Amino acid sequence: MIKIYYFSGTGNSFWSAKKIAQIIGNCELYNIGVEARKKKIILTAEKIVLVFPSYAYGLPLIVSRFVKDAEFKTPYIAAFVTYGSSPGGTLTALSRILKRKNISISFFGRIPSAENYLAIFGPPKTKKLERRLLMQRSATEEAARCIIAGNGNSVNAFRPFSALISFLFSIGVKIFYKRYRISAGCNACGICKKICPVSAIVMKDNRPVFTGKCEHCQGCIDICPLRAIQFGRVKFGTPGYRHPDVSISELALNNAEETVNS
């Protein structure tokens, strides 16, 4: 049995995780946002696969905590970072954590995908989006082949610029959740709450309220059907992004359930 653990805000990493599972077969999918809530995390399988996005050239904070807290009982780990502009030192950061846990049999891969950080890059253009989706499909299929073959490799262990940007981002995440604004047009549909991969949004008086658990994945802004969430330069009404082959209901279900078998 191969177990795939993913973290995903707008569906990019989830799509790749699901596609890998479909190609390989005999896999189980687990949402890191859900699994990280457990008091004791023991990962036991023939192979463990991690799929996650790059946040500011580094690991999402919850992915970093999850890997640090987990006890790995497997002879093989493969990790894949999905990214828009650049993965920076994301895999390097993961490699350092695994080395401290004395895990050496690993494979590290990169999967290009659509850029979804609206606050800096804005909504993706149609032609660029189509190109990135094709790149993601090709890289994901190659990822599955590498897992089947049991490939191993290493990554650059010295990425000081990426480490600095990632560190600054980790500080920012602690206050970013206070900067979200909700428009008067919000109809309290609760979709932002349902699709949040870390349950950082609660509904109070028919309004979404952001809490300190927020990972700044931007899924809420991207997926809100009324475009009623604002952050920084992302104004009310700004078009969002969700992987076209991942539905809102699918994201909501996977954030609610502990496992999805494939």
Q: Is 216 part of any domain?
A: yes
Q: Is 236 part of any domain?
A: yes
Q: What is the pLDDT along the chain (262 residues), one digit of tens a residue?
A: 999 999 999 999 999 999 999 999 999 999 999 999 998 999 999 999 999 999 999 999 999 999 999 999 999 999 999 999 899 999 999 999 999 998 877 899 999 999 999 888 988 899 999 999 999 999 999 999 999 999 999 887 778 999 999 999 999 999 999 999 999 999 999 999 999 999 999 999 999 999 999 999 999 999 999 999 999 888 898 899 999 999 999 999 888 654 444 3
Q: Is 223 part of any domain?
A: yes
Same domain, 75 and 147: yes
Final residue of a domain: which of 137, 160, 183? Answer: 160
Final residue of a domain: which of 104, 133, 160? Answer: 160
Final residue of a domain: which of 160, 190, 205? Answer: 160
One DSSP character per residue, the chain reads -EEEEE--SSSHHHHHHHHHHHHH-SEEEEEHHHHTTSSS-EEESSEEEEEEE-BTTB--HHHHHHHHHPEEE-S-EEEEEEESS--TTHHHHHHHHHHHTT---EEEEEEE-----HHHH-SPPHHHHHHHHHHHHHHHHHHHHHHHHT------S--HHHHHHHHHHHHHHHHHGGG-EE-TT-----HHHHH-TT--EEEETTEEEE-TT-----HHHHH-TT--EEBTTB-TT------TTS-HHHHHHHHHSSEEE-
Number of domains observed in the structure of the chain = 2
Q: Is 119 part of any domain?
A: yes
Q: Is 167 part of any domain?
A: no
Same domain, 76 and 8: yes
Q: Is 261 part of any domain?
A: no
Q: Evaluate whether 199 touches 9 at the Cβ level (below 8 Å).
A: no
* Residue 27 lies in domain: 2-160
Looking up residue 189, the CATH number of its domain turns out to be 3.30.70.20
Cα–Cα distance list, 25 to 32, 145, 149 (Å) = 20, 12, 14
Same domain, 73 and 180: no
Same domain, 42 and 132: yes
Query: pTM of whole model > 0.85?
Result: yes
